[in-house]
Amino acid sequence: MTRRRNLRPLPVRPLIAVIVLWLALLPFPVFAVLVPDLVKSNNPIPKLTAETWLLMDFNTGWILAEKNSDKRIEPASLSKLMTAYVVFHEIRKGTLQLGDLAQISEKAWRTEGSRMFVKVNSKVSVEDLLMGLIVQSGNDAAVALAEHVAGSEEGFAALMNQHAHALNLGNTNFSNAAGLPDSDHYSSARDVSLIAAAIIREFPEFYDWYSTKDFTYNKIKQNNRNLLLWRDASVDGVKTGHTSTAGYCLVGSAKRDDMRLIATVTGTASAKQRAKEVHALLKHGFSSYESKRVFGEGSPTAQIKVFKGERDRLPLGSADAVYVVVPRGQTDSLKAHFEVPPFAVAPVTAGHALGLARIEYNSNPLMEVPLVALSEVPQGAWWKRAMDAVLLWFE
């Protein structure tokens, strides 16, 4: 059920405040925020051994559970999420193509740790290097991509940090592309979760690669180290990490129906343990919460009259899809109340904020969403403007 009432044009400062609140709750969040207490599930959170961990709903950015998620940690190969993210951006920009051949330097060839086993002085396609990076967690692939994109690993690390800043990652700094230990190389469970979310959101065509179970290069077949790809069909990513000092880390993501969750653990004792604990978080999230799309992207939710325009009616709605998360089985407790002005006067530009939708849960305020003009309304002919000027006297 919804209720609609008219309101006069909103003052500028309150409207800005509402928009700021709404941005924090966008379906593709810029940053992660704690789930509102109003809709927090009472189901017990699994007991984990991980040093830091986080469970996040992808559509809202709400953190459903966490421990020390902002603590700086050694991200190990979780760093390769950002390595791939930078490369994906370069491909999107057109400065790089999957078929481009990268020259393998001696530095890349000699890089210690996990490898895809490229040969020094050989030429390897960007596509193969990405597969070696994503599936095999190849440190040699990471260095080769970094040198091919930026000329040096140091220059590539600067690109990584530029993107980290753009994503508002407040506890992250990169000094290399592979995730090798360095005192100036760090992140957090929250930040690596946000990098994973950014890949899923911005590059769905490449995110599919994170569900690849094995990759063969140089006649050497290696399995994806994410054990959950074999244990749960809803899991489709995302990245493992390990060093002797970082322990075993994993960012995992799964989608069931319209709900996607991202779970991250760091500092566990084994590969089996990290998979077990991420899976426990994902199962907790899906059994405890339910995702509800309250507004579709650009879908009309209200209409108002328009004077002096080419048309007499104007549809209003949310510019983006808006989701909320509630305890499982409680979506019927969500209500939307619309507050819109009685009319608008042309010209009206598309995207102009003209009202509010107030979302309530069990009759308690949960969030506010600006309602914007979903199309433009140019001024009408002179006779239409003159006639409507008279009609406005009676409004």
Distances (CA, A) of 363 to 1, 275, 322, 357: 12, 39, 19, 14
Distances (CA, A) of 223 to 134, 167, 272: 11, 30, 15
pLDDT at 79: 98
pLDDT at 392: 86
C-alpha 314/C-alpha 340 separation (Å) is 11
Percent of the chain having pLDDT more than 90?
Answer: 85
Average pLDDT over residues 380-391: 87
- Helix, strand, coil shares, percent, the chain, to 5: 35, 30, 35
Q: How many residues does the chain have?
A: 395
The amino acid sitting at 139 is N
Average pLDDT over residues 105-134: 97
pLDDT digits (tens, 9 = 90+) for 329-346: 999 999 999 999 999 999
- Contact criterion met (CB below 8 Å) for 292 and 360: no
Average pLDDT over residues 31-39: 89
| 300 cis-preceded (ω within 30 degrees of 0) | no
Which of 41, 69, 79, 80 is flagged as catalytic?
80
Average pLDDT over residues 290-295: 93
292 is catalytic: no
pLDDT digits (tens, 9 = 90+) for 165-216: 999 999 999 999 999 999 999 999 999 999 999 999 999 999 999 999 999 9
Closest CA to 178 of 109, 224, 128: 109
DSSP state for residue 224 in the 8-state scheme: -
DSSP state for residue 170 in the 8-state scheme: T
Distances (CA, A) of 218 to 116, 124, 390: 8, 11, 80
Kindly state the tokens that stand for 128.
């193969």
pLDDT over threshold 60, residue 24:
no
pLDDT at 32: 80
- Contact criterion met (CB below 8 Å) for 333 and 1: no
**Residue 184 burial by Cβ neighbours in a 10 Å radius (0-12, 13-18, 19+):** exposed
Confidence of residue 146 (pLDDT cuts 50, 70, 90): very high
Confidence of residue 31 (pLDDT cuts 50, 70, 90): low
Confidence of residue 15 (pLDDT cuts 50, 70, 90): very low
Confidence of residue 90 (pLDDT cuts 50, 70, 90): very high
Which of 41, 105, 114, 137 is flagged as catalytic?
137
* Side-chain-side CA neighbours of residue 102 (13 Å): 31
> What class does CATH assign to 33-289?
alpha beta
Kindly state the tokens that stand for 82.
């950002």
Spans of all domains in the chain: 2-28+296-394, 33-289
80 is catalytic: yes
Q: State how beta strands 343-345 and 300-307 pair.
A: parallel
- Contact criterion met (CB below 8 Å) for 369 and 17: no
Confidence of residue 356 (pLDDT cuts 50, 70, 90): very high
Fold (CATH) for 2-28+296-394: Peptidoglycan synthesis regulatory factor (PBP3), Domain 2 (2.60.410)
Output the pTM of the full model: 0.89
Closest CA to 148 of 108, 119, 203: 108
Percent of the chain having pLDDT more than 70?
Answer: 92
41 is catalytic: no
Query: Comparing 2-28+296-394 with 33-289, is the CATH topology the same?
Result: no
Across the chain, mean pLDDT equals 91
| 265 cis-preceded (ω within 30 degrees of 0) | no
